[in-house]
Amino acid sequence: MDETREIPQEAAKKGWLSKLKDGLLKTSSKLGDGISSLLHKRKLDAAALEELEEVLIQADMGAQVASQMVASLAKERFNKEVSDSEVRTFLADQVSSILEPIARPLELDASKKPHVILVVGVNGSGKTTTIGKMAAQFAKSGKRVRVAAGDTFRAAAVDQLDVWAGRAGVAIVRPESATTDPASLLYDALSLSQREGDDVLLVDTAGRLHNKTDLMAELDKMVRVLKKLDASAPHACLLVLDATVGQNAHAQVELFAKVANVTGLVVTKLDGTAKAGVVVSLSQRYGLPIHLIGVGEKLEDLQPFTATSFAKGLLGID
Ligand SMILES: Nc1nc2c(ncn2[C@@H]2O[C@H](COP(=O)(O)OP(=O)(O)OP(=O)(O)O)[C@@H](O)[C@H]2O)c(=O)[nH]1
Ligand SMILES: [Mg+2]
């Protein structure tokens, strides 16, 4: 047995689980405090259940999920003595089964050279940071990676991606000037990437929220240009959502689903909010796969989304 290989992997896994738990601390402590105080010296009666529903809604789980979870808890434990840890474990199981069908790793199709990933989302949601982190992780796993600065208009946006590319040790395609059209930059990036035999091309896009028509036109143009070189591209379109906006994330999913063929979600900034329950309401409502989550600004703070560990982190269970 190769122990030297196993130990670092185990350590990395443990490291990520505690990082996830720490990252979700704002939400889990709010939920935990709410649950303990509503159970304080009392049985799980109707008033306690009503309070619990409110606590879940406050964490942005959504009204429907909150009422379903409370109803199933009531079925089993109504008017019984329950400890707060029993309630947290019960809720974590419920959350986990809601998340299970949509927690899907982002898979690369090895037959696509490159596998083109378009990254979209509103201003400041974490697109560029997420691309940087993903690029680093793909590169670390031995993939040949290139990033394209499709947000051509803002020099600062291009420079930010450049810094991440340097950190990740991957190639970048930069626009010649602020007037370079994003679609023509993408044409150059994909041609180069095909010639070089890259495994992945990650495309950053502008987050300025135009009106819906402009946004659709710009994304359509980008997709059309990519298809000239590879009819199956883009192979994924990831919508990056900032968890701190809570229920507003729903409006963003609805907007982007209309203007782009969104294939999956990345939820960022879970560390900065007590509203991490939004992940649960998004899962229940749209059924879109959630591939990755961000719990911090550093390279290692982006990780695959897994149902059980997220559910446990959310409810503060070890
Ligand atoms: N705490 C925390 N901060 C994050 C996370 N992801 C991104 N950020 C921060 O959020 C800010 C915005 O991130 P960007 O990656 O620039 O967002 P963007 O979507 O590219 O923004 P625009 O290009 O302006 O549309 C930066 O300060 C990031 O460091 C996360 O998971 N946790
Ligand atoms: Mg950006």
pLDDT digits (tens, 9 = 90+) for 235-273: 999 999 999 999 999 999 999 998 899 999 999 999 999
> What CATH number has the domain spanning 115-306?
3.40.50.300
* Ligand 1 binding pocket mutation candidate from 208, 209, 297, 303 (most atoms within 8 A of CB): 297
Confidence of residue 179 (pLDDT cuts 50, 70, 90): confident
Is residue 114 packed enough to be buried (19+ CB in 10 Å), middle (13-18) or exposed (0-12)? buried
Which atom in ligand 1 lies closest to the alpha carbon of residue 295?
31
Distance 277 CA to ligand 1 centre (A): 20
Please tell me the class of the 3-102 domain.
mainly alpha
Whether 271 lines ligand 1, by a CB cut-off of 6 Å, is yes
Q: How far is CA 113 from CA 117, 191, 196, 202, 241, in A?
A: 12, 11, 9, 12, 27
Which atom in ligand 1 lies closest to the alpha carbon of residue 293?
31
The CATH 1.20.120.140 portion of the chain extends over 3-102
Confidence of residue 209 (pLDDT cuts 50, 70, 90): low
pLDDT at site 283: 96
**Ramachandran category for residue 107: left, alpha or beta (phi over 0 → left; psi -120 to 50 → alpha):** beta
**Interior angle at CA 200, CA 197 and CA 202, nearest 5:** 130
Torsion of the alpha carbons at 141, 183, 297 and 289, rounded to the nearest 10: -70
More confident residue, 135 or 211: 135
Over the stretch 217-236, which tens digit does the pLDDT of each residue have?
889 999 999 999 999 999 99
Contact 286, 59 (CB under 8 A): no
Whether 129 lines ligand 1, by a CB cut-off of 6 Å, is yes
Which atom in ligand 1 lies closest to the alpha carbon of residue 207?
25
Over the stretch 18-39, which tens digit does the pLDDT of each residue have?
889 999 999 999 999 999 999 8
The CATH 3.40.50.300 portion of the chain extends over 115-306
Whether 26 lines ligand 1, by a CB cut-off of 6 Å, is no
pLDDT surpasses 70 at 280 = yes
Distance 204 CA to ligand 2 centre (A): 7
Q: 46: Cβ–Cβ under 8 A, 6 or more apart, which residues?
A: none
Whether 132 lines ligand 1, by a CB cut-off of 6 Å, is no
CA 55 to chain centroid: 23
Q: In the chain, which residue ranges form alpha helices assigned H by DSSP? A: 3-23, 25-39, 46-58, 63-77, 84-99, 127-140, 155-168, 182-196, 212-229, 248-259, 278-286, 307-314
As residues whose CB is below 5 A from the ion ligand 2, the structure lists 127-128, 157
- Mean pLDDT, residues 194-204 taken together: 98
Torsion of the alpha carbons at 280, 301, 112 and 214, rounded to the nearest 10: 70
Ligand with minimal distance to 129 CA: 1
Distance 117 CA to ligand 1 centre (A): 18
**What percent of the chain lies above the pLDDT cut of 90?**
82
